[in-house]
Amino acid sequence: MKKDSWFWDRMRQVHVDFHMPEFPREAIRNFDAKTFVERFVRAKVNVIGVFTKCHFGNAFYDNTVGHKHSGLKGDFFGEVLAEARKHDIKVIAYYSLGTDARAVQDNPDWYQVDEHGKVRGAEGTVWELPCLNSPYREELVLPQIKEITEKYDMDGYLLDIPYLHNHYCFCPYCNKKFAEEHGRELTPELLQTDRELVLRFGIDTAARCMEEIAATVKRIRPNVLMNCNGAWRMGEPDRINATSDYGLWESQPSATGSFYNHSIRARYARTLDVPVQIMTVRFTEGWGLMSCKTAEQLKYEFATILANGGIINIGDQVLPDGTLQDGVYDIIGEAFGFVEEREAFCTRAESVREVALIANNTNNWYHDKDDAATFGAAKMLLEGHHQFDLYYNDDFPDLDGYRVVVLPESVKLSEASVARIESFVAGGGLLLAAGEATFCRNRQNFLLSEVLGLNYLERSPYGCGYLTEHEGLWKGIARIPQLVEAPFIKTVPTTAETLCSIQWPLTVPAVSRAFRHPIPPGGNVSDCPGISVNRYGKGTALYIAAPVFGSYWHSNHFWVRRIVDNLLRSFYAGYAEVEAPTHIETNLMRKNGKTYLHVINFQSNHTGEKSTAYYNPIENITPVHDIRAVIRDSRLRRAVVQPEGAELSVEAMADGIAFTIPRVHIHTIIELSEG
Domain spanning 353-574, CATH architecture: 3-Layer(aba) Sandwich (3.40)
Q: What is the pLDDT of residue 369?
A: 76
Number of residues in the chain:
675
Residue 67: its H or E element:
strand 67-68
Q: What is the pLDDT of residue 1?
A: 43
Is beta strand 497-505 parallel, antiparallel or unpaired with respect to 576-579? Answer: unpaired
pLDDT higher than threshold 90 for residue 675: no
**Between the CA atoms of 380, 383, 388 and 391, what dihedral angle is there, to the nearest 10 degrees?**
40
Q: What is the pLDDT of residue 367?
A: 54
Residue 664: phi, psi to the nearest 5? Answer: -125, 115
Q: What is the pLDDT of residue 104?
A: 96
- Domain 577-673 fold is Immunoglobulin-like (2.60.40)
**For residues 238-260, average pLDDT:** 89
Domain spanning 2-166+205-345, CATH architecture: Alpha-Beta Barrel (3.20)
Q: What is the pLDDT of residue 323?
A: 97
Tell me, letter by letter, the H, E, C secondary structure of 499-552: EEEEEEECCCCECCECCCCCCCCEEEEEEEEEEEEEEECCEEEEEECCCHHHHH
Is beta strand 58-59 parallel, antiparallel or unpaired with respect to 67-68? Answer: parallel
pLDDT higher than threshold 70 for residue 652: yes
**For residues 514-529, average pLDDT:** 93
Q: What are the pLDDT digits (tens) for 533-544?
A: 999 999 999 999
pLDDT band at 124 (very low <50, low <70, confident <90, very high): low
Whole-number Å distance between alpha carbons of 615 and 612: 9
Q: What is the pLDDT of residue 453?
A: 98
Q: What is the pLDDT of residue 368?
A: 63
**For residues 435-456, average pLDDT:** 97
pLDDT higher than threshold 70 for residue 478: yes
Mean residue pLDDT across the chain: 95
Q: What are the pLDDT digits (tens) for 107-122?
A: 999 999 999 999 999 8
Q: What are the pLDDT digits (tens) for 46-62?
A: 999 999 999 999 999 99
Residue 425: phi, psi to the nearest 5? Answer: -70, -45
pLDDT band at 557 (very low <50, low <70, confident <90, very high): very high
DSSP code for 458: E
Domain ranges of the chain: 2-166+205-345, 353-574, 577-673
Q: What are the pLDDT digits (tens) for 137-180?
A: 999 999 999 999 999 999 999 999 999 999 999 999 999 999 99
Q: What is the pLDDT of residue 512?
A: 86
Q: What are the pLDDT digits (tens) for 268-284?
A: 999 999 999 999 999 99
Of the chain, the percentage scoring pLDDT greater than 90 comes to 91
Q: What is the pLDDT of residue 2?
A: 58
